[in-house]
Structure 1
Amino acid sequence: MPIDPPLLSLPSLSAPPPPGSRTVTTDDGVPLHVEVDGVADADLTVLFSHGFTARLAEWELQRAALRNRARLVLWDQRGHGRSGWTPLTKATIDRTGRDLGQVLDATTPHGPVVLAGHSMGGMSIMALARRRPDLFGTRVVGVFLLATSAGGLVETGVLGLALKVVRRLGLLPLYLRVLQLLAPVLERFRRRGTAIGRRITRRLLFGADDAHPHDVRLVQELLEETSLPVTMAFYATFLDHDETAALEVLRQVPVTVVAATHDRLTPAAHGRRIAEIIGPGAELVVVPGAGHSVNLTRSQVVDDALNALVDRVRAGWRKAG
């Protein structure tokens, strides 16, 4: 399958926030950057949650694809993009799920909403479903899960074995604390935009045939904007992430799961498992040859899947009416 054309440049953090920007302050005092776009009086809002070490700009192509079809809300998760710093102890998926709920309440207190999440953003949606199941089937009428996992990311291989040993010895808290103490020192000497960084980005974020050099460099720049202390602070939450029970809640609404065959961070098997557990209400889209940055490198496939979910939600309203 041919790769999509190179990406346009994503909005820079050094530029002023665009019109429609606002701040939602969480109950623990963290200011979250939010942008509202699209059709102001649309019958449906799509709320986008980005992935780990990225920011809301990673949804730029999907934002353009849906701008004339729905009201759009995008936000930077705590410690990312234009949002405020987070206490290390609050760098968890459970907390980002709570943040998502507060962004939803503040920006869209009424009307139906489709939640779209990539990677950690998808995990945040699952955490919200566990925390506030009453939202699903009432205010939340659809869910789009892109290259994400419900848990078990570090169970196999050398890293999985090492983690099991560290846990058994009771050393995991010490290990994570050492990482967090080292992070500020490493950040002071960190070099961005290096060839090694590009190789790592190419290896982890791209697939067999979707790594255009322009895209690799752009994703590298995007991910390197997030500081190492934030990265290390969130690391622990991925080790313990398990939101399998929340998938029961998602059965209340139409769900689309998009997985990429060459995703090394959230392998396609995790997407298949999510769709299998949710059952008939879930549509699974598997993208051959693509990696974790599938929303950027295979934007047409992702745009089509997201538009199809919006159509499915609206068709359900017509049928119910």
Structure 2
Amino acid sequence: MGRRRRHDQLRGRDQAWCTGPARLRRGGRVSPANRGLIGLGVGLAAAGVATAAGVAAGRVNRDRVARYAALAPEGVYAVVPGKELVVVADDGTPLHVEVDEPTGGADPGKPTIVFSHGYTLSLRSWVLQRKALVEAGYRVVLWDQRSHGESERAPADTATIDQLGRDLHSVIDEVAPEGPLVLVGHSMGGMTMMSLAEQFPELVRDRVVAAAFVATSAGGQNMVTLGFGQFLGRLLGRLGPRFLARLGTRQQLVDTARRVGRDIEDLIVDHYSFASPVSRNTIRYTADMIMGTPLAVMSEFLPSINVHDKRAALKQFNGVETLVLNGSGDLLTPPDHSEAIVQIVPGAEHVVVEEAGHIIMLEHPDVVNEQLLSLVERAERAAAEGIAVSRKPRVRRTVTDLAKRREVAKARKSRRRG
């Protein structure tokens, strides 16, 4: 009798394996063994998809290595900082700062250029701009925002745009306490500049001669859309921090998955960072910055970014030579996100770069360098000639990187011949 009961139990378990999903739909219970097999099936399916995606991504990346390597040759992102130091923020958080000066020293009459990087990036994102501006004779200051790059991990409750504004003030106070300033901020770095203006308006009024807001937003709208529109964007804004926080508790597992799935990671970074062909070197350089940021840090900053609204603070830039720079194909902060800056700051110049994504300074470095140098020169000329910047008409221009188009066409033609 016992053997028969055992046989019936096994038979029932076999039936559960076959009807597990149906039983779940009817509200029935599935044993741990059944759930394990169902999970195994899902896992195998996911692994198959991931493997197929990885193979496809590998093919794309191998083609990219062969085709677009000339767009960013080996060593192009190498740089030796003139000076590295630590600036302690007002709450005691150590911030990593680098300072470059032109050969022979900086002209005291020229402004110091202060760069603030974006969310999940680091000061390394400005590598090509720092080189160009130092070569043009300017002193350059770059810093890693708290919990990013080489700056120290800060308490979670300090991951706010307001705190970043105070951090920028600490950096300026320590390494550029005197003389004219040019502020340049990308994405979250532009928000940091607005926060600085809100909390330290006298600094902007007295010392800032030019400001560049690159791929950023004054706020007042849902920030996290990822190109999916406002409806899905709001959902991402609510769920994103919790999802990242949970993943952050498994950072080691995520890091392992990164090493296995580098090709897929490259495709994702490419899609959301760029809108034109770039080299594999550029994608890996960008991915290492983004994915080098702990997931917990990503989670901590998202809420503050998503409710960011510094439109009132922009009035402090009245009289400051202002550049607003966007990529036409930016999925994270498209050009319309920057319209408020142009409307609020008199005389602001809005430049939209065709075929450019969010990481525009690595995708179209020559165009960005040219625009920044032109901005600084306009500011210097306005100061020398007493030009009232606020009376200048607002200008909006669309720029195409023709030099890069030619390089891409040349690379494609060469690849076909090969």
Scaled to the shorter chain, the TM-score interval is 0.7 to 0.9
Distance across 2 between alignment mates of 1:303 and 1:108? 22
Pick the aligned partner of 1:10 from 66, 77, 93: 77
One of 114, 121, 143 as aligned partner of 2:211: 143
TM-score (ref. length: structure 1): 0.88
One-letter amino acid of the counterpart of residue 303, structure 1: N
Paired amino acid for 2:317 = L
Residue 101 of structure 2 aligns with which residue? 38
Change (3 A) 1:179 1:53: closer
Matches within 5 A, 1:47-58: 47-58=114-125
* 1:11–1:57 Cα contact (<8 Å) kept: no
The residue number in structure 2 matching 1:157 is 230
Partner residue of 2:89 out of 26, 29, 52: 26
* SS state at 2:71 partner: coil
Letter in 2 for 1:157: Q
Q: Aligned runs of 1:1-321 on 2, under 5 Å?
A: 5-6=71-72, 8-11=75-78, 18-39=81-102, 40-42=105-107, 43=109, 44-68=111-135, 69-151=137-219, 152=221, 153-154=223-224, 156-162=229-235, 176=241, 179-190=244-255, 191-192=257-258, 194-207=262-275, 209-280=276-347, 282-320=348-386
Are the equivalent residues in 1 in contact too, given 2:242–2:299 (CA < 8 A)? no
- Partner Cα distance (1:117, 1:105) in 2: 18
- Partners of 2:211 and 2:291 in 1: how far apart? 28
Segment drifting more, 189-198 vs 33-42: 189-198
Q: Return the offset for 1:273.
A: 3.2
Mapped contact 2:77–2:128 kept (Cα < 8 A): no
CA distance in 2, matches of 1:159, 1:95: 29
Question: What is the Cα deviation at residue 239 of structure 1?
Answer: 1.4
For this pair of structures, how many residues does the alignment match? 305
SS at the partner of 1:202?
helix
Structure whose alpha-carbon radius of gyration is higher? 2
Distance 1:18 1:308, change over 3 A: closer
> What is the identity, as a one-letter code, of the residue corresponding to 1:5?
L
RMSD in angstroms over aligned alpha carbons? 2.3
Where 1:23 maps in the other structure, the secondary structure is: strand
Cα pair distance change 1:225/1:10, threshold 3 Å: farther
Query: For residue 169 of structure 1, what is the aligned residue in structure 2?
Result: none
Q: Secondary structure at the match of 2:250?
A: helix
For structure 2, which runs of at least 5 residues remain unmatched after alignment? 1-67, 388-418
Deviation at 1:226, TM superposition (A): 1.1
Listed as ranges, the gaps of 5+ residues in structure 1 are: 167-171
Identify which of structures 1 and 2 has the higher relative contact order when contacts are C-alpha pairs closer than 8 Å and 6+ apart.
1
* C-alpha separation in 2, matches of 1:181 and 1:94: 25
